[in-house]
Amino acid sequence: MPLGTLDRSAPPLFNQGPSALSRLIFFSALSLFLMVADARFDVVRPLRVAVGAVLYPVQWLAMKPVEAVTGAARYLADLQSAQRGEDEARRAMALQAQRANQADELARENERLRTLLALRQNTPVPGRAAEVLFDAADPYTRKVVLDQGLVQGIVPGSPVIDERGVLGQVTLVQPFSSEVTLVVDRELSIPVQNTRTGARSVAFGDASGRGLELRFTSAHADVQEGDLLSTSGVDGVYPPGMPVARVVRIEKRADSAFARIWCEPLAHVAAPRYVMVLAPVGQAAPPEAIPGPAAGGKSPVPAGASHKPPPWVRPGAGGTP
């Protein structure tokens, strides 16, 4: 049979029921009716609630991966923010600790300077504040270097004090710095007086370079541990009454007529920072202008008079009386 003569229509089994156009019109009208009825009378709400209750587990399961990814991203962001905040807090804490240490150091320096100023006001001679730059390079001596020199008016033999007492004596002066030999140096000596008894003696730096020693003191002398020693002022270098040391140990031997007395210096000989350089007590004031001969041809200055200032104590000699 030729192909063109075949029947291409559907079998009678599939042609039963309404046509497609009829079904389109029916379902369109039904949809319109349901929309109007739902808008007016809310008739579809129970069905919507039932469908929502049935589909909720499916929605919950479908949202879990999204919530997991969102939570992980939020956790990582919060962790990074917390780490940055911790780093900033640590830096701020370190800065605050540094500032607190600086404030404490400044408070201690102010206290030392105030005490030094109060001690300076009790001395009858002028002085100049100076700062210790470093210790001297010689390991066999106890010396420090100051930031003041000839340009600032520092002269050899000037006594040096800190806020607690006598620190030493200027033994070398350069244009912009000066060298101070500490009281604990074995080459330096200083005349002292016991403030309790008034007895005078000479204190020398001991061999260890950490304290002083009263030499040539009788074993029967009235010296006790704890006695305060101050400058006697008989050498014309140190002002009288400046605290020097405190007696810490007394050793009396039967085979010697002298006692060995060790003293602890009151000044900060280990780590001085700010000091006061005083003018020597024996320093003469600058001579005034000598007037010419008065009327009558006589000079007010007697013939042969000398205007030379009194001699200095030799630097490093310690000002022994």
pLDDT in tens, 11-25: 555 556 778 888 899
pLDDT in tens, 158-189: 999 988 889 999 999 999 999 999 999 988 99
CB 262 within 8 A of CB 212: yes
Least confident piece of the model among 50-59, 112-121, 135-144 = 112-121
Listed residue (209, 157, 205) closest to 178, CA to CA: 157
- Residues 194 and 232: their CA atoms lie apart, in Å, by 9
The reported pLDDT for the residue numbered 305 is: 38
The tokens describing 13, both together, are 């089994």
Position of tokens 């030493």?
168
Listed residue (231, 232, 226, 223) closest to 258, CA to CA: 223
pTM: 0.55
Q: pLDDT exceeding 70 applies to what percent of the chain?
A: 79
Per-residue buried b or exposed e for 111-128, using 16+ beta carbons within 10 Å of the residue's own CB: ebeeebeebbeebeeebb
The reported pLDDT for the residue numbered 265 is: 94
The reported pLDDT for the residue numbered 51 is: 83
First to last CA, the chain: 157
Going from N- to C-terminal start, the domains of the chain cover 22-121, 128-278
pLDDT in tens, 272-289: 888 889 888 766 444 343
DSSP code at position 317: S
Rounded mean pLDDT of 289-299? 39
Q: Which CATH number fits domain 128-278: 1.20.1420.30, 3.40.50.1220, 2.20.28.10, 2.40.10.340?
A: 2.40.10.340
